Chain A
Amino acid sequence: MKTNKTRRNFLQQTSAWAAGAAAAGTMGLPNFAHAGREKELNIYCWEGYNSDDVLDPFRREFKANVKAEGLTSDPDAVNRLRAGETKVWDLINLNNPWARELMWPEGLIKELPRDRFEPMFEKMMPAFHPPYEWAMDKTGKHLLGMTQRFGPFSFVVNTDKISRKMAEDQGFKLFLDPKMKGRYGVLTYDNWNIYHMCIAADVHPFKKHNKAEMDAYTKVAKQVFNGAKLLTDDLVAMNLALINGEIDAYFTGGTYTASPARFDGAKQVRGITPNSGPMDGKGGIVWIELTSVVNHPQISPLAEEFLAYVQRGDVSKKVAFAEGTYNPVTQMGAKDVLALFNKEELDAIQWDSLEQEMANSADYDINPDYAEMYEIYSAAKREREG
């Protein structure tokens, strides 16, 4: 009996609490729903923008509650927006093609006021001066985002073992040389691997492919995997293997992956951009990040403020040297921003060859045969011999 009584009391108490909470909810909810988002900002970005070094000064200056989540794949992020997360995020930071090719046509992002943001492009490196193609929609009327970090991304060698000149001259063919069997790794950023395998097969990665091109790609995919000593998606593990002599080069990589090792003093780790290749003569690829305002039904006014904030010189430097990887930023086109980087930092991001590497690289784009090529890629990886 005693137990029953206690249980009844407990139930009475809980229902009272529940009723109270419900009442508070119904009273509080409309207020919450109508509350503006003046002091709230949610950012979905590649690692770096979610660093406290970048976010904390903004939080203090704007007394804002900023939340940032790192993303690991562009298509994943786009799918999350498609699945309804436009109600969650205010800003999205992805590689260049997605805004123009997908997010803008699908209504997932908003345009930026050109009068406020276009002058900022004027201060960037010459290649990014307005109208910058990837920041505009296909009609050239709407500004879709701001650029900042970018970097050539092809492959990485240990220059103590393979000279920079030889690597640049041979390009991705280096990995098809029988002498390289067992001497290189594949950094399994799967989408990038596919593009680079296309280049190694003398196939343009960003165009529709015929059967002969698919066959050439298939042959190279198998050859690259069969000759690799290790596969990993961890750039630190890959750099370690390169420095310790397990391997002499790795397939897929660039400033983004080599810079942490270089900044630690391993200057022999170097991102290489081939001198020539099948993309209108170019053999390397460069990625450019674009940060856009999400088509949030209740967009935070801080979204545009944040875009302007990260363009400041000192903040640009923090973005370039945020946690994990180090990358050039478009704002280095301004002398006062460039002056903020010391010799070691410039050397880490291969500033000496950046212009040449950019000239030899095609811009990252979407591969129309990605799904089919991925099947071939994953089968080649699974069926790897040796």
Chain B
Amino acid sequence: MAERAGKPLMQWLRQPGVLAAVPVTLFLLGGFVGPLILVWWYSLMPPRTFSLAQTPTLDNFISSAAGSYYISFGWSLYLSAVTVVILILICYPVAYGMAKLFGKWANLITLLVVLQLLVSENIRLFGWVLFLLKNGIMDGSALYLFGLSVPSILYTVPAIVLGLVYVYLPFMLFPMVLGLSMVPETLKEAAFDLGATRMAVFREIELPLSSPGLMIGGLLTFVLALGSLAESKILGGQRVIMIADDIESAFTFAQNWPRGAALSVLVMVISGGLVLLLLLRLDLDRIMGRR
């Protein structure tokens, strides 16, 4: 029996495709899955220890739940949600224009949006600091030109939102452009021919058919914003502490790796849960046009 069961497995293993995939699989196991397992395992080690060979405990999760980490989680989730909503409102019209109206000019917009990605995020955010700073570019120019001082939003929550929206805009824009460009013109024409209003076409055809792009963009930006750190540090003056900040502190100044690992696991569970929830509602094959 064992021999018979072993044969198909061996045959399967000998397939060229499987063999060719072995190096990449090993690489992913060692380089991607391995560290994640380490983080999960570390989260079960006793607090403030560095060895992995100890009796697992849930202490880190219990103390994290008992502490005030809910504040950081709350802010991170809230600011991520606000960022996604603002990005949808900003990006939808731009994406619509790029997909349907701008023609060759769409490439220029793509280039402009992509170009900024070549500059480090911290430098771009520091540019905003110089712009928003008291006596900085905005305040100083207003004072010079109009004689009035502009109240600064630097080191406030709106400044953090500004940073998040600015940094994650491309991650919302491009999936949206892709989603909108897959809405067939013929469907819209048919709807107009049948007497649909502009609003009805938008509600019944464009929005539902472009929603995969919108959802992927929303998911990407939400998860990225959830793990963000620099915007709150540089533009927000840490007006609020994001959960990524707490994780960083646990691994560095606090020297409490298991606590940091436990907080990381909680973030992974939240973002992983969201991805799963979305994938249940989304058919990737259909989006890619395979079916």
Contact = CB atoms under 8 A, between A and B. Distances in A.
B126 interface: yes
A231 B238 contact: yes
Given A244-B136, A246-B154, A381-B238, A79 B68 contact: no
Contacts of B136: 244
Interface string A218-245: 0000000000011111100100110011
Nearest to A82: B50
24 contacts: A76-B255, A79-B50, A83-B50, A188-B238, A190-B254, A229-B237, A230-B238, A231-B237, A231-B238, A232-B233, A240-B133, A244-B134, A245-B134, A246-B154, A246-B155, A378-B254, A379-B68, A381-B238, A381-B241, A382-B72, A383-B68, A384-B239, A384-B240, A384-B241
* Interface size grouping (class) on chain B: 20 to 34
Interface stretch (B100-108, B169-177, B245-253): B245-253
Contacts of B154: 246
Contacts of B126: 237
B48 to A, nearest CB: 6
A240 B126 CA distance: 11
Contacts of B67: 375, 379
Interface in A307-347: none
Contacts of A132: none
B211 interface: no
Chain B's interface: helix, strand, loop or mixed, by majority? Answer: loop
A75 interface: yes
Interface string B46-60: 001010000000000
B255 A378 contact: no
A374 interface: yes
Nearest to A381: B241
Interface of A: 7, 72-73, 75-76, 79, 82-83, 185, 188, 190-191, 229-234, 237, 240-241, 244-246, 371, 374-375, 378-379, 381-384
B253 A374 contact: yes
A7 B15 CA distance: 13
Leading 6 A-B pairs by shortest Cβ distance = A230-B237, A231-B238, A190-B253, A230-B155, A382-B241, A244-B135
A230 B234 CA distance: 10
A237 B255 contact: no
Contacts of A233: 233
B48 A185 contact: no
Given A378-B246, A383-B71, A246 B152 contact: yes
Contacts of B152: 246
A374 B133 CA distance: 31
A261 to B, nearest CB: 15
A244 B249 CA distance: 29
Interface in B224-273: 233-234, 237-241, 246, 249, 252-256
